[in-house]
Amino acid sequence: MITAGIDMGAKHIKVVILKDGEVIGKSKISTGFDQGASARKGLDEAGSQAGIELSAIEHITATGAGRKSVPEKNSEVTEVGAGAVGTIRLIPEARTVVDVGAEEGRGIKIDGAGKVIDFAVNEKCAAGAGSFAESMSRALEMTVREFGEISLKSEKTIPMNAQCTVFAESEVVSLLHAQTPKPDIARAVCDAIASRITSMVRRVGIEQKVALIGGVSHNIGFVSSLKRALNCEVIIPEDPDYVGALGAAIIAGERKTNG
Amino acid sequence: MIANYGYTDGSGEYYIAINTDDCLECPQHLCVNACPKNIIEIIEDDYDDLVAAVKDESRKALKYICADCKPSSERPPLPCVSACPNGSLSHTW
Amino acid sequence: MAENKEFWRWTEYSWRDENKDWRGAAIITAGIDVGSVSSQAVIMADGELYAFNNTRTGSNSPDSANKAIEGALAGTGLTLENINFIVGTGYGRVNVPFAHKAVTEIACHARGANFMGGSEIRTILDMGGQDCKAIHCDEKGKVTNFKMNDKCAAGTGRGMEVMADLLEVPITEVGDLSFQVEEEPPPVSSTCVVFAKSEAMALLRDGWKKEKVLAAYCSAMAHRVSSLLDSVGVQEKFFITGGIAKNRGVVERLEKELGVKAVKTKIDSQIAGALGAALFAKTLFEKQQAKSVA
């Protein structure tokens, strides 16, 4: 059986194709203005990597903010549901899933079968998501990767006053004018996002082990801040940004089997 | 006066509303010690009344500061709200 | 290379009532509003508006307060020593070196709106540079209820500046341009300036004209502030203060959404806070005098 999951994120579209439960193709492309066309492009890329025609896919499940805009989909699943199922496949001992994407953050509590027990979401505000780090790294004139790396060089905790990304940009500029070292600013930014994510996750209750998924997992500065804020180990699966798409593909398989 | 301290952001509205007219009648100010995060203080307002207010530095982060008192399921009563004998304190979220 | 223009920039200026002479006045007071984006100084002679200055807030509050008061004093022959009482307000109110007292901007805006729009004003919306406030007041301009949002840039002047810069439209022209559309577009995401900005860029890529994007942004902003107002309720008469009050793109869409017209005045909406502070100064000075007599 061949199924696919497509995760229509705010910044990137991720596709995973499964054949009898094994990943045979995947792709990650930027989300264009025409979401339907971008979705098609993502599916085509993953399909050619898998060496199959799209018509060979028996069920496609879409997730993510733009999941409604996938013409090829057979069904939909929420980001929470897809993230939970994808995580438990990769990290069976995970009980809390922290999912941080470009424009959204989520805390999900799951049982051993990947069933969602409780969740909390932060959406529609850039302050608790990847865009925050992105805007701040732009203000510091570096890439998000460099930004994450230099933040590790700091051992200082500077609190950021501004919550809003727009106001925080001005605050970062003032910190630069005040000759604050860039690593300290970068750490302050990572700490700020981590503290917002942590208080959101606390609402569902933190049960170990904690898994971190979503594109922001690639920011090592954020990961380090999150570990400090949660005060526990955080497990990041391989390809953390594909977990939602993987979960959707697994769910596609279940739906196909159960009719 | 009904003083709403807090903010709105994309994720929702987070205000602690204090009815300062009721607050005037209450000399004990039990809310101040009830808050585990110590975010309530007594101030002299613009009309020279001594009333409870949310501390300035806490006003922009209520969603995070108050999160520990607000688990997402099985919500217990809020310490600040239950401490006030006049019922002059409430949360919008 | 493209010229690096500052599209958000507005003109700083001073105003003085040429028909008045402060020398005949019994009480001269001043109000200084040091906001996050702009600062104003208002001088009143016997409770009447005499002179004011509106300037951009610099990197520190004391300098901005000095600049504003110097601008208002210039050409009047007045010096600081002639002023009986000075009240500081706004975000930097505790850092006005020459002020006798600080009063919150909420109380000052209510008092200022009561003066500018009359004693029938019950609801005030202040759309400032980095915050937005919904205020209820009584016939004396005393606050009865308020709700403010200063955490998030959506619904503030700063949010509008971000959009003006992105679209390369001078901020003072945003309002008029936003009506140059054949049909009112749906609002952009009203929730977050960062997301609205990426949405606006996508709309431009999709071939939308600047005017249409501005219309979509103005109505998102109107929607955003109307929900703040709705949560306290709008009681007539209604008055708008702050810089955005000058942007008809937002004001007219807001009036339409609320179904309520705002009372208009010729006095610059940005000085409402400083004006209220100057009025507080008069009351405080009279109290002080009454005390010293007794």
Chain A positions touching chain C (beta carbons under 8 Å): 33, 103, 124-126, 131, 135, 163-167, 174, 177
C238-241 and A22-30 beta bridge pairing: unpaired
In the chain, the amino acid numbered C109 is H
| pLDDT surpasses 90 at B27 | no
State the count of interchain CB pairs (< 8 A) between A and C: 38
Rg of chain C, C-alpha, whole Å: 20
| pLDDT surpasses 50 at C19 | yes
With CA atoms as reference, the chain A residue closest to C193 would be A166
Mean pLDDT of the region B77-89: 92
Interchain CB contact of C199 with B (< 8 Å): no
SS (H, E, C) A49-61: HHCCCHHHCCEEE
Q: Considering the domain C120-263, what is its CATH architecture?
A: 2-Layer Sandwich (3.30)
| pLDDT surpasses 80 at B35 | yes
The tokens describing C289, both together, are 């005098």
Q: Which chains are adjacent to chain C, needing at least 3 Cβ pairs under 8 Å?
A: A, B
Contact C130 A131 (CB under 8 A): no
**Residue C9: what pLDDT?**
76
Work out the number of other CB atoms within 10 angstroms of the CB of residue C231.
Answer: 14
Q: Which residues of C touch A12 (CB under 8 A)?
A: none
State the count of interchain CB pairs (< 8 A) between A and B: 38
Contact B13 C231 (CB under 8 A): yes
Q: Could you please report the per-residue DSSP string of A144-176?
A: HHHHHHHHTT----------SHHHHHHHHHHHH
Contact A118 B60 (CB under 8 A): no
- Please check whether residue C112 is in contact with residue C274, taking contact to mean a CB–CB distance below 8 angstroms: yes
- pLDDT band at residue C1, thresholds of 50, 70 and 90? very low
**Residue B23: what pLDDT?**
87
Domains located in chain B, CATH noted: 2-91 (3.30.70)
Interchain CB contact of C232 with B (< 8 Å): yes
With CA atoms as reference, the chain A residue closest to B72 would be A203
Rounded to whole angstroms, the maximal C-alpha distance in chain B is: 41
- pLDDT band at residue C111, thresholds of 50, 70 and 90? very high
Residues A23-54: b if buried by 16+ CB within 10 A, e if exposed: bbbbbbbebeeebeebbbbbbebbbeebebee
Work out the number of other CB atoms within 10 angstroms of the CB of residue C27.
Answer: 16
What is the phi/psi pair of residue C27, to 5°? -125, 125
Q: Considering the domain A92-236, what is its CATH architecture?
A: 2-Layer Sandwich (3.30)
Mean pLDDT of the region C48-71: 93
C262-263 and A210-213 beta bridge pairing: unpaired
Q: What is the mean pLDDT of chain B?
A: 89
Do A1-90+242-259 and A92-236 share a fold?
A: yes
- Altogether, the residues listed in chain B come to a count of 93
**Residue B93: what pLDDT?**
87
How many angstroms separate the CA atoms of C111 and C142, rounded? 7
The tokens describing B30, both together, are 């039990």
Q: Which of C240, C231, C289 is CA-nearest to residue C267?
A: C240
The tokens describing C241, both together, are 């203060």
CA distance C182 to chain A (A): 23
**Residues of chain A with confidence (pLDDT) below 70:** none
- pLDDT band at residue C5, thresholds of 50, 70 and 90? low
Contact A124 B11 (CB under 8 A): yes
Give the residue range(s) of CATH 3.30.420.40 domains in chain C. Answer: 13-102+271-293, 120-263
Mean pLDDT of the region B46-63: 90
Percent of chain C scoring above 90 in pLDDT? 81
Q: Residues near C294 by Cβ (< 8 Å), separated by ≥ 6?
A: none
Contact B8 C152 (CB under 8 A): yes
The tokens describing C15, both together, are 């105003």
Contact B67 A203 (CB under 8 A): yes
Which 3 state secondary structure label does DSSP give A196? helix
According to CATH, what is the number of the domain C13-102+271-293?
A: 3.30.420.40
Q: What is the mean pLDDT of chain C?
A: 93
pLDDT tens figures, A162-204 = 888 999 998 898 899 889 999 999 999 999 999 889 988 888 8
Contact B4 C146 (CB under 8 A): yes
Contact A202 B67 (CB under 8 A): yes
Only one residue has tokens 């399909």, namely A47
According to CATH, what is the number of the domain A1-90+242-259?
A: 3.30.420.40
The tokens describing A194, both together, are 């981590």
Domain-wise residue ranges, chain A = 1-90+242-259, 92-236
pLDDT tens figures, C163-212 = 999 999 999 999 999 999 999 999 997 678 998 988 898 899 889 999 99
Contact A125 B71 (CB under 8 A): no
How many angstroms separate the CA atoms of C48 and C33, rounded? 18
**Residue B32: what pLDDT?**
94
Strand arrangement of the beta sheet that strand C38-45 belongs to: C13-16, C48-56, C38-45, C28-34, C85-89, C101-102
Interface of A with B in 37-96 (CB under 8 A): none
